[in-house]
Structure 1
Amino acid sequence: MDIFRTQKMSSVLNHIGENEKTLSILDLTLMSIGSVIGTGVMVLTGIVAATEAGPSVAISFVIGAIAAMVIVLCYSELSSNIPSSGGSYTFTYVTLGEILAYVSGLCIVIAYLLSMATVASGWGAYLTSFLDVFNIYLPKAITAIPSQGGFVNLPAMFSVVMILFIISAGTKDSKKFNNAMVITKIVVIFIFLLVGVFYVKKTNYEPFLPYGTSGVFTGAASVFFAYCGFDATASAAPYVKNPKKALPIGLISSLAVCAAIYVGVSLVLTGITSYKNLNVPDALSYTLKLVGRSNVSMIVSLGTIIGILAVIFASNFATSQIMSTMSRDGLLPKVFSKKNKKDVPIVSLWSVGLVGAVLAGFCNLKDLANFASIAFLLVYGMVSISVIVFRKKYPDIKRSFKTPLVPFVPILGAGCCLFLMFNLKLNTWIVFIIVLCFILISYFLYGKKHSIIKENDTLKEAKKDEQN
């Protein structure tokens, strides 16, 4: 069937000039940490603890880390051998076929779009908390979404637009800004841990599983969102100096760092105060205020304001690259592959960014995060299976990194994704299925008809007819 036609690996590799290959192993690792650590630890940790897992949210993070590590092992092999800006979309196109690649590409775009909006919402909350220290109180009408009694969250929208301008300046210039944001974020988290650990009370861990074991797994499905960021790293592959070495190191090392930080923060956060008090979007600074450390809370808020921007950066970077690649393949309108003088897919960048800004200004943070999780999980499951197909389809490629224990590890990765998906709530599934139907409809109405592969096949058939 032509809907399962695949791309040849040689046709998807990006031809980037050597002057544009500016990302080192450190740059890539920081980008990966920057795309992962953000709202997951600074916002969602408290909300998931309060509503789903209690203090056992630390276990939820461990479960999420195990699932993420299995998937990262699959990503490492594919991204190091298929260094394309399409990320998951390209991996599935080369292995599983066009229709699944189309679904994968748009699911990742939607997931990062919602991730960006979620992160921007958290950024707005931390900005408000920081200004409160100086007795500067912004009107609720412009700092809260309609469902929370406001009109629009303008700070959240501003954060997205600011990052769009930074990325528009090009990879070489924007990476310096991104590295600074990531380092600031890590420093802030360590300040919180070093100060907060002295205010931990064992009584706050009782009961440790207030929502039972089902709450732990539901929490794991929600906080898995906190580990999503692999595609942002994979999408940067064409701009990496040594992708075969840098990508596996960047992906695996960044996940290990992130998992340790998540577990540490969740234990300190739920140890400082009862989990019931943590249903707030600025949990880290909030708990420090509770114990009378307003001065440290101010530092954490300021650092978080700077650091969280790295996630918005990574989300916008990944979505613009993926949409541009899909456009070049004919699956999206050609306008989305248009680039500026700095080789930035400017139309894709601003189209997705502005939609994300609107969502951040008007929509509920938790609902966005849950939907992003299920979209990411579907794509990661497909990428895991892609490794098995890739091994069979290209057995003779010299691989700098090989996913261990194939096919066991990829099957385990896909199984983890399915397990976490089925632990998400019914309303999340209903919305996801509706969106999935629209994606499939758009493929048959546009993507299938305009596919470059289809056009090439048609030209080949026409030449054969002429020769005959």
Structure 2
Amino acid sequence: MCSLNRKKPLELEGEVSCFRRCLTTLDLVALGVGSTLGAGVYVLSGEVSREVAGPSIILSFLVAAVAAIFAGLCYAELGARVPKTGSAYLYTYVVVGEVWAFATGWNLLMSYVIGTSGVARAWSGTFDDLIHNVIAHTLRISLAMDSPALAPYPDFFAAGLIILLAGIFSLGVKESAVVNTVFTALNMAMLLFIIVAGFINGDLNNWRIPEDMLRNATINLSPPFNDTVDYGVGGFFPFGVKGTLAGASTCFYAFIGFDCIATTGEEVQNPQRAIPISIVASLLICFLAYLGASAALTLMMPYYLLDAHSPLPVAFKYVGWEPAKYAVAVGSLCALSSSLLGVMFPMPRVLYAMASDGLLFKTLGNVSSRQVPHVATLSLGALAAFMALLLDLKALVDMSSMGTIFAFTLVAVCILILRYTEDSSLEHTSQPFSLMGVLRPPSHPTAQTSKNVNIVIIVPCLPVLPVISIFINTYLMVQLGGETWTAYAIWMAVGIILYFGYGVRHSVHKQAPKGTERVHYEVDFVTPLGLPPPLTRTDSVRWWLHPASGACA
């Protein structure tokens, strides 16, 4: 059982990466925004506003964004500390141990494969809606599938889309990044149009509807709406603060996706700077987009009249701008395209990292002449295409979120371990408590933060922020249904069998050298806005690592 504590050493000095460093910070921001800001921005606001939060959904997104930032800061710091391919899998391997790393990687693979299939199916459905459901109608008649585990009909369009994008990814990372940036830019342009048009046609009275007016208005609604839906008491908080917080728990899922940035450690220029900046910037951009879209929607139309499935087209029709629905349609397809690219991008890189470490089959770690993990890309692409083609994904969608949230939790745990596991090589002296010491952790290791180093972004307010992030993630996982937990347990059981049957015996770190000798890695430091330590842009920081444990000193 030594694999429980076996950690991966970071042999940075003299190590040659198989990937090409060709991505810029802008590429990573576009990747993060595209993956996070999916079609949910066109749908989620209507559903949450109408039935959960009302106009206060803008505060729901604010609370959700703050919670996402907690997880994002943990990823940002570890992305700067460990600038290699693997994301949460690698961080857990370096800090916690091999078996937990395998569990994290196995969860991420589940999340990415199911997410890819689900987004491709959503893209197919959205496109089919634009052509009046011709595809669905034809396939339901000719190739209907009558089984609880299968989809109503084989979705060839979704499967073909995944295969096409897998082929594009196999051509090269830069080519994939350019395609993603184009779709993300189009999506942002459509969202900007929607937000501006919404504010132009908005009415602040929709944020302060009196209760008596609400009651009179909802009485005239035809059944079953007035029998099954609680419209609250009107005003900005029609469902109270409780409804706003309930909406925040739903809106949190809208910020999942930024973690794909952390898989680019060996493909981006200056990863210690680009990864943390890109994570924070993408979360900020997504928050502003969600905030603007939800505010525009609830200003254009009273929240109780919003359509839960197509809120924006109905709202524009309500204010007399019905042609604007075409902008919504274009934006939705662009958002789904960039979201699909974003969820497919990290998928083969996590598989490559696990295969390179020997925890999965070595063949999956092969890299093509274009410096792309082509075997992992095509293998997972084929699996996701098969699922999109035949399986009913409704019961599996929540599993995708669970896998990502599990990774969020372990990343926060890694931060706590790095900062609070004392290093015996340091001379410890008693240090009095101070508020500034909590808000601005020291730049050099101390008895309290012995694993701290000088990097672009460090998590402030330790241990409060990581602990809150762990609590939020645990709460969200507990809220998932019993069917999701059953399917999740089956997936993890398969992973445990695979690890102890293959991975534990073929791990390349099984015979890792023991000792306390150190290698060093020099990191260019850029002083972050509002964060210590007092260094200049041209200073260089020496990062010491124990090869046997991967710990920083």
Which TM-score applies when normalising by structure 2? Answer: 0.73
**Match for residue 381 of structure 1 among 388, 405, 409:** 409
Give the gaps of 5 or more residues in structure 2. Answer: 215-230, 424-449, 515-553
Matched, 1:337 2:365: yes
Partner of 1:418: 474
Q: 1:454 Cα deviation (Å)?
A: 1.2
Higher mean displacement: 147-156 or 203-212: 203-212
Q: How does 1:87-236 map to 2 (within 5 A)?
A: 87-132=87-132, 137-142=134-139, 150-197=152-199, 198=201, 201-202=206-207, 207=233, 219-236=247-264
Change (3 A) 1:270 1:396: closer
Q: 1:321 Cα deviation (Å)?
A: 0.4
Matched, 1:3 2:4: yes
Q: Check conservation: 2:39, 2:335, Cα contact below 8 A.
A: no
Q: Check conservation: 1:85, 1:234, Cα contact below 8 A.
A: yes
Structure 1: how far apart are the matches of 2:155 and 2:56?
Answer: 31
Structure 2: how far apart are the matches of 1:325 and 1:127?
Answer: 35
Structure 1: how far apart are the matches of 2:245 and 2:15?
Answer: 39
Q: Check conservation: 1:142, 1:152, Cα contact below 8 A.
A: yes
**Match for residue 439 of structure 1 among 495, 507, 527:** 495
Q: 1:150 Cα deviation (Å)?
A: 4.2
Q: Check conservation: 2:128, 2:136, Cα contact below 8 A.
A: no
Partner of 1:403: 459
**Match for residue 335 of structure 2 among 292, 296, 307:** 307
**1:286-336, Cα deviation, whole Å (9 max, x unpaired):** 544565544221132123323321111121110100000100000111121
Q: 1:214 Cα deviation (Å)?
A: 6.4
Change (3 A) 1:441 1:457: farther
Higher mean displacement: 410-419 or 217-226: 217-226
Q: 1:429 Cα deviation (Å)?
A: 2.8
Q: 1:438 Cα deviation (Å)?
A: 2.7
Structure 1: how far apart are the matches of 2:452 and 2:503?
Answer: 32
Partner of 1:371: 399
Q: 1:389 Cα deviation (Å)?
A: 1.9
Partner of 1:462: none
Considering fraction of residues, name the structure with more helix. 1
Higher mean displacement: 306-315 or 270-279: 270-279
**1:94-150, Cα deviation, whole Å (9 max, x unpaired):** 001011100111111111222222322332233123334xxx843435499978994
Structure 2: how far apart are the matches of 1:253 and 1:141?
Answer: 44
Structure 2: how far apart are the matches of 1:25 and 1:86?
Answer: 18
**1:205-244, Cα deviation, whole Å (9 max, x unpaired):** 8556777766655544443332112321010121111111
Partner of 2:350: 322
Higher mean displacement: 332-341 or 414-423: 414-423
Q: How does 1:349-368 map to 2 (within 5 A)?
A: 349-362=377-390, 367-368=395-396
Q: Check conservation: 2:233, 2:239, Cα contact below 8 A.
A: no
Higher mean displacement: 31-40 or 288-297: 288-297
Change (3 A) 1:12 1:123: farther
Q: 1:455 Cα deviation (Å)?
A: 4.6
Give the gaps of 5 or more residues in structure 1. Answer: 459-468
Q: 1:199 Cα deviation (Å)?
A: 5.4
Among all aligned residue pairs of Structure 1 and Structure 2, give the percentage whose two residues are the same amino acid: 27
Letter in 2 for 1:15: V
Change (3 A) 1:369 1:35: same
Q: 1:73 Cα deviation (Å)?
A: 0.9
Q: Check conservation: 2:162, 2:381, Cα contact below 8 A.
A: yes
Change (3 A) 1:149 1:417: closer
Partner of 1:464: none
Structure 2: how far apart are the matches of 1:236 and 1:244?
Answer: 11
**1:325-349, Cα deviation, whole Å (9 max, x unpaired):** 1000001111211222211111211
SS at match of 2:86: coil
Letter in 1 for 2:284: A
SS at match of 2:339: helix
SS at match of 2:461: coil
The number of equivalent residue pairs is 453
Letter in 2 for 1:330: G
* TM-align CA RMSD: 3.2
Q: 1:279 Cα deviation (Å)?
A: 3.9
Q: 1:86 Cα deviation (Å)?
A: 0.4
Q: Check conservation: 2:409, 2:470, Cα contact below 8 A.
A: yes
Change (3 A) 1:9 1:409: farther
Matched, 1:15 2:16: yes
Change (3 A) 1:246 1:443: same
**Larger gyration radius, structure 1 or structure 2:** 2
Letter in 2 for 1:123: W
Structure 2: how far apart are the matches of 1:363 and 1:285?
Answer: 30
Structure 2: how far apart are the matches of 1:283 and 1:362?
Answer: 30
Change (3 A) 1:389 1:149: closer
Change (3 A) 1:286 1:145: farther
SS at match of 1:403: coil
Change (3 A) 1:325 1:291: same
Structure 1: how far apart are the matches of 2:135 and 2:494?
Answer: 39
Change (3 A) 1:100 1:218: farther
**1:418-443, Cα deviation, whole Å (9 max, x unpaired):** 12222333333333233233322322
Partner of 1:70: 70
SS at match of 1:308: helix
Q: How does 1:39-50 map to 2 (within 5 A)?
A: 39-47=39-47
Partner of 1:448: 504
